């Protein structure tokens, strides 16, 4: 296998190529010309020897440093000749290690479509959250929570399929429901396609894996301060120190306050810290211990409703008809206060030259108080009795008022039309341990790599539901001129007013909702290199999934409900890989994944119900053919793939009740994805992606068959490019920018509502005062276009308006 830390020796007589992608310009630079140009810039650097044994993060840092420099090398005749050492461009994402024990190779040698958001890109864009990082990845859609649970936080879809339970850090699940800040991120990788063989149940569209910042061999202190539009204030700290030659510590921290540009009343106040320590860096036995804490006090934003003009083919966001993009339809009681604590330990033991053992453990505590208004343009007006219970309805239609000449009187329901969501306190804990081993050996001319292990995890969720004392007053809000102030409104204990609790079809109005899930999984795979240029990889994972859910307390008009589900799942994976050299691969991948009904314990309002608790799980299958090539001495990487993703017994969330149910729908998404990343020519970097999707519901509900799958665009593309002028001179300057584009998507499988295309232009300019200080200015949505971020079936959230952010950073 390739050692990513190895530098490649290039004689001065060899050619070095540069490919200019933006306008199709192709330039050829000889090694001599390139060496002269670098020397002229005063960038002669000594060759750095990489230790044989080194921690993964340090190895990745050196491998992607992009540095180059001359040194003398002995020739066979005893003379010396100058050679150049060139390492991978930091923007070439193909050389990024996956950072997961079950996926020991880099993105280039992993037979799946993988989009990596590298550290250099996050720095240039001043990325502040997971959501912002994933804007660089095609096929990712953000979705707001639905139903009486109102699960906001990070809720993503990959290639149109839910991935809210498929967010990982260093290969371990992050079960929390919160908005993730990026202060501790080294890089973010989206591993597309069913990946249950590696990660376990779920991963229909793929998995999102975050590699965090842990100790490296080089001491540094980095700090930054940002300020700008929307009363934005942010500070970060990154401290790394080697205590001995094999023990290192690293501390990262963040404080952030901001309003949302273009939205009234919406803000986030958060802080976080993540210390880590590694014992045995560069040794055969190493252990990394990492603690993470984040506290966030924010106002949830459920956006604007979808309206349907009489005679129109489909509905559109109200803002497309002149409703102000700043309108927010919540109340002063809406808040999302979360506290997250995670402790992670990762052990690596090189037991022999042939076997490496890993043991990764994580425990997490999650606390969250959530209260949100879920606005909707309903067709009937709800009424309540004195105790807050649902009484009867009176007909009205906000569409009729708005489009019928009475727009000023048009009203929305803050309860989503189903008497909810109501506030709740959520307390969760989870634990996961993955024990795995990687064995490498030869049998004759065949090279083997075997990976096997056991994955055990348990998650527990407990929610206390509260009630409003004046549900009637809370419910209605004016479409054109909403006010968050509701006189006389207050939140009360659910036991004192059980009639004010959310009335679910399963159990009535209950105060407590408790869920837990246990998964025991075993996995094995082997990659056999049958020839120097051809390998076969096959593997499987077996899981035993046991989940429980209960609804108790509150009103006893209906009895308490206790439900459970047990599933045994088997997920195979087969890959064929043609690798003519270390720089390229052509592959075919077939894989399957399983999503049990009760998988979403922490981030679904009703993971089980009496009717469907015995239903079979959702199954998905992927066929993918792809090619990857790292060209021009790893300066630039290219990737292309065609795929077909099929999903049967589709699990869907009801937009009004929040109930998760299996359907008879069979859905398919197929398409092509392209990407290029790296250094086009000296000082010019680019990362660009394009995806073309063809999605369709093949069978199931009559109104859905033949229609485009919700949230899946036909076309999506991103590009980001920067050019550095005179990088070693006092008058140095970096300029750059990019665009993200997503074609309009349908908001439901029946294709009755649609959100327009998103187009966003961003830019950056920066200047280094010396080797330590840098000032940067970022501009976002420069055209101030009305775009939409979070999506769901009957509403969408407008993205930020035009914004500017100033950043001052120090690095010692």
- Residue 474 covered by a domain: yes
Of 149-163, 264-278, 295-309, 741-755, the least confident: 149-163
Residue 89 has pLDDT above 90, yes or no: no
Residue 801 and residue 654 share a domain:
yes
- The residues that bridge with 117 in the sheet, in sequence order, are 188
What percentage of the chain reaches a pLDDT higher than 70?
83
Long-range contacts of residues 486-491, Cβ cutoff 8 Å, at least 24 apart: 486/331, 486/332, 486/333, 489/331, 489/333, 491/333, 491/371, 491/423, 491/466, 491/467
Residues 6+ apart with CB under 8 A from 259: 230, 231, 232, 266, 267
How many angstroms separate the CA atoms of 353 and 357, rounded?
11
What's the mean pLDDT in 501-511? 85
Check pLDDT > 70 for residue 86. Answer: no
pLDDT at 207: 93
165: pLDDT strictly greater than 70 = yes
Do 502 and 558 lie in a common domain? yes
Over residues 383-400, mean pLDDT: 54
210 shares its domain with 288: yes
pLDDT at 526: 96
Bigger pLDDT: 141 vs 803: 803
Task: State the Cα–Cα distance between residues 578 and 192, nearest whole angstrom.
Answer: 20
Whether residue 471 is contained in a domain is answered as yes
Q: Which of 258-272, 480-494, 648-662, 776-790 has the lowest mean pLDDT?
A: 648-662
The reply to whether 396 and 440 lie within a common domain is yes
Does 1 fall in a domain?
A: no
User: Any residues with CB less than 8 A from the CB of 411 and at least 6 apart, and which?
Assistant: 396, 398, 401, 476, 477, 478, 479
Domain count, the chain: 2
Q: Report residue 219's pLDDT band, with 50, 70 and 90 as the boundaries.
A: very high
- Comparing 16-25, 348-357, 688-697, 736-745, the range with the smallest average pLDDT is 16-25
Q: Token pair for residue 207?
A: 């998995």
**Three-state DSSP class for 254?**
strand
Query: Is the link from the previous residue into 421 a cis peptide, with omega within 30 of 0?
Result: yes
Between 289 and 507, the higher pLDDT residue: 289
Euclidean distance between CA atoms 51 and 242, whole angstroms: 15
Predicted confidence band at 5 (pLDDT cuts at 50, 70, 90)? Answer: very low
- The top-scoring range by mean pLDDT among 236-245, 389-398, 412-421 is 236-245
Residue 210 token pair: 């975050």
Residue 476 has pLDDT above 50, yes or no: yes
pTM of the model: 0.86
pLDDT at position 471 is: 79
Cα dist from 464 to 330, 514, 551, 553, whole Å: 21, 9, 10, 10
Judge if 33 and 126 occupy the same domain. no
Residue at a domain's end among 38, 53, 86: 86
Of 45, 69, 86, the position where a domain reaches its end is 86
Q: Is the pLDDT of residue 631 over 60?
A: yes
DSSP 457-470: EEEEEEEEEEEES-
Distance CA 752, CA 200 (A): 35
Residues 441 and 469 in one domain: yes
- What 8-state DSSP symbol labels residue 97? B
What does R_g of the chain's alpha carbons equal in angstroms? 27
| Same-domain pairing of 500 and 402 | yes
Tell me what the mean pLDDT of segment 789-802 comes to: 89
533 located within any domain: yes
In degrees, to the nearest 5, what angle opens at C-alpha 230 toward C-alphas 747 and 307?
Answer: 25
The per-residue pLDDT for range 325-340, each reduced to its tens digit, is: 999 999 999 999 999 9
In a domain, 2, yes or no: no
Mean pLDDT of 527-548: 96
Could you tell me if 121 and 196 lie in one domain? yes
Give the residue-averaged pLDDT of 279-302: 96
pLDDT of residue 661: 62
Residues 43 and 118 in one domain: no
Q: What is the CATH number of the domain that holds 487?
A: 2.40.170.20
Distance in angstroms (rounded) separating the CA atoms of residues 367 and 459:
13
Position 88 scores a pLDDT of 63
User: If you average pLDDT over residues 656-662, what whole number do you get?
Assistant: 55
Do 170 and 64 share a structural domain? Answer: no
Distances (CA, A) of 93 to 112, 186, 245, 632, 677: 14, 13, 30, 14, 6
Q: Looking at 284-293, 379-388, 765-774, which range is the least confident one?
A: 379-388
Minimal CA–CA distance to 335: which of 270, 266, 271, 388? 266
Average of per-residue pLDDT across 601-622: 79
- What's the pLDDT score for residue 38? 34
Q: Looking at the domain assignment, is residue 3 inside a domain?
A: no
**Nearest in space to 651 (alpha carbons), one of 667, 635, 630:** 667
In a shared domain, residues 664 and 516 = yes
Q: Is residue 670 part of a domain?
A: yes
Domain that holds residue 156: 93-811
Does residue 49 carry a pLDDT above 80? no
Tell me, what's the pLDDT at 414? 85
Q: Work out the average pLDDT over 770-782.
A: 96
- Specify if 748 maps to a domain: yes
User: Which whole-number Å values give the CA distances from 600 to 416, 547, 597, 638, in the listed order?
Assistant: 22, 10, 8, 36
Whole-number pLDDT of residue 379: 52
Q: pLDDT category, 472, cuts 50, 70, 90? A: confident
Start-to-end Cα distance in the chain: 35
How confident is the prediction for the chain on average, in pLDDT?
A: 84
In this structure, the answer to whether residues 123 and 75 fall within a common structural domain is no
Structure tokens at 518: 């246990």
Which segment of 70-74, 221-225, 338-342, 504-508 scores lowest on mean pLDDT? 70-74
pLDDT band at 741 (very low <50, low <70, confident <90, very high): very high
Boundary (domain end) residue, out of 51, 86, 121: 86
């Amino acid at each position: 296998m390739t050692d990513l830390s190895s530098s490649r020796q290039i004689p001065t007589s060899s050619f070095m190529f540069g490919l200019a992608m933006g306008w199709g310009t192709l330039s050829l630079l000889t090694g001599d010309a390139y060496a002269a140009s670098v020397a002229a810039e005063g960038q002669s650097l000594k060759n750095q020897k990489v230790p044989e044994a080194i921690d993964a993060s340090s190895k990745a840092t050196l491998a992607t440093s992009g540095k180059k420099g001359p040194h003398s090398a002995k020739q066979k005749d005893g003379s010396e000749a100058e050679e150049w050492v060139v390492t991978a461009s930091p923007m070439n994402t193909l050389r990024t290690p996956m950072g997961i024990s079950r996926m020991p190779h880099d993105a280039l040698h992993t037979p799946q479509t993988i989009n990596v958001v590298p550290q250099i890109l996050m720095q240039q864009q001043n990325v502040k959250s997971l959501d912002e990082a994933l804007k660089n990845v095609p096929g990712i859609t953000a979705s707001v929570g639905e139903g009486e649970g109102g699960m906001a936080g990070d809720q993503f879809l990959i290639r149109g399929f839910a991935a809210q339970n498929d967010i990982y850090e260093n290969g371990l699940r992050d079960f929390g429901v919160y908005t993730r800040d990026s202060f501790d991120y080294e890089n973010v990788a989206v591993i597309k396609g069913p990946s249950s063989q590696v990660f376990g149940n779920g991963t229909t569209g793929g998995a999102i894996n975050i590699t965090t910042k842990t100790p490296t061999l080089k001491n540094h202190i980095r700090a930054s301060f940002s300020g700008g539009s929307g009363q934005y204030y942010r500070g970060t700290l990154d401290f790394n120190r080697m205590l001995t030659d094999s023990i290192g510590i690293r501390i990262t921290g963040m404080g952030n306050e901001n309003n949302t540009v273009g939205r009234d009343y919406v803000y986030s106040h958060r802080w976080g810290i993540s210390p880590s320590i590694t014992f045995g860096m560069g040794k055969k036995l190493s252990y990394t211990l990492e603690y993470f804490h984040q506290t966030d006090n924010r106002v949830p934003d459920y956006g604007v409703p979808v309206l349907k003009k009489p005679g129109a083919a489909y509905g559109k966001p109200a803002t497309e008809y002149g409703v102000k993009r700043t309108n927010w339809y919540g109340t002063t009681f809406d808040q999302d206060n979360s506290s997250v604590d995670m402790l992670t330990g990762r052990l690596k033991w090189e037991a022999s030259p042939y076997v490496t053992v890993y043991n990764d453990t994580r425990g997490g505590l999650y606390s969250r108080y959530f209260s949100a208004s879920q606005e909707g343009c309903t067709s009937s007006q709800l009424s309540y009795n004195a105790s807050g219970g649902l009484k009867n309805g009176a007909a009205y239609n906000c569409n009729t008022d708005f489009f019928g000449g009475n727009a000023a009187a048009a009203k929305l329901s803050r309860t989503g039309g189903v008497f909810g969501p109501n506030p709740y306190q959520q307390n969760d804990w989870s634990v996961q341990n993955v024990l795995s081993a990687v064995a490498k050996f030869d049998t004759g001319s065949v090279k083997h790599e075997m990976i096997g292990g056991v994955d055990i995890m348990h998650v527990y969720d407990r929610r206390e539901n509260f009630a409003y004392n004046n549900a009637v007053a809370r419910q209605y809000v004016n479409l054109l001129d909403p006010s968050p102030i509701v006189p006389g409104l207050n939140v009360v204990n659910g036991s004192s007013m059980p009639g004010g609790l959310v009335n679910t079809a399963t159990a009535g109005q209950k105060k407590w909702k408790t869920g837990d899930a246990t998964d025991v999984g075993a996995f094995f795979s082997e990659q056999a290199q049958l020839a120097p240029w051809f390998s076969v990889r096959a593997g499987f994972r077996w899981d035993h999934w046991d989940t429980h859910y209960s609804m108790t307390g509150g009103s006893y008009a209906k009895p308490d409900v206790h439900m459970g589900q047990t599933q045994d799942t088997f997920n195979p994976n087969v890959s064929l890989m043609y690798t003519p050299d270390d720089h390229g691969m052509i592959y075919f991948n077939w894989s399957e994944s399983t999503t049990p009904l009760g998988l979403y314990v922490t981030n679904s309002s009703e993971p089980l119900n009496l009717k469907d608790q015995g239903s079979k799980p959702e199954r998905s299958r992927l066929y993918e053919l792809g090619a990857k090539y790292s060209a021009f001495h790893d300066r630039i990487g290219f990737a292309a793939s065609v795929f077909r993703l099929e999903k049967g017994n589709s699990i869907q969330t009801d937009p009004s009740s929040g109930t998760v149910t299996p359907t008879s729908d069979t859905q398919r998404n197929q398409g092509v994805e392209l990407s290029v990343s790296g250094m086009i020519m000296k000082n010019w970097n680019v990362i660009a992606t394009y995806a073309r999707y063809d999605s369709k519901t093949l069978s199931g509900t009559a109104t859905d068959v033949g229609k485009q799958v919700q949230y899946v665009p036909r076309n999506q593309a991103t590009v980001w490019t920067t050019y550095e002028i005179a990088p070693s001179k006092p008058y140095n300057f970096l300029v750059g920018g990019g665009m993200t584009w997503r074609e309009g998507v349908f908001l439901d499988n029946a294709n009755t509502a649609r959100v327009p295309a998103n187009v966003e232009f961003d830019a950056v300019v920066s200047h280094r005062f010396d080797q330590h200080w840098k000032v940067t200015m970022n501009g976002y949505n420069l055209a101030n276009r009305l775009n939409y971020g979070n999506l769901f079936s009957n509403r969408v959230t407008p993205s930020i308006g035009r914004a500017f952010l100033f950043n001052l950073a120090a690095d010692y």
